[in-house]
Structure 1
Amino acid sequence: MSNDVWSRDEIESPCIQICLVHPETRLCTGCNRSIDEITNWSKMDAEARRLIMSDLPSRQANPKTRRGGRAARLKR
Structure 2
Amino acid sequence: MSESPCVRNCCLDQHDCCLGCGRLLNEIIEWHSADKIRRDTILNLAAQRLTQRQQLYALRRPAADPSE
Same fold (TM over 0.5): yes
- Residue in structure 2 matching 1:43, options 10, 28, 33: 33
Q: Give the Cα separation in 1 of the matches to 2:16 and 2:46.
A: 14
- 1:55 equivalent to 2:45? Answer yes
Give the match for residue 20 of structure 1.
11
- Percent identical among aligned pairs is 29
- RMSD between superposed Cα atoms in Å: 2.2
| Partner Cα separation in structure 2 for residue 33 and residue 57 of structure 1 | 8
Q: Distance in 1 between matches of 2:2 and 2:43?
A: 12
Match of 1:72 in 2: none
Q: Tell me, yes or no, if the aligned pair for 1:19 and 1:29 is still in contact at 8 Å.
A: yes
Larger radius of gyration: 1
Structure 2 residue runs of 5 or longer lacking an equivalent are 61-68
Higher helix share: 2
Cα displacement string for residues 3-45 of structure 1 (whole angstroms, at most 9, x for unaligned residues)? xxxxxxx75111001110012x320000010110001110101
Where structure 1 has 5 or more consecutive residues not aligned to the other structure, the ranges are: 1-9, 66-76
Shift of 1:55: 2.1
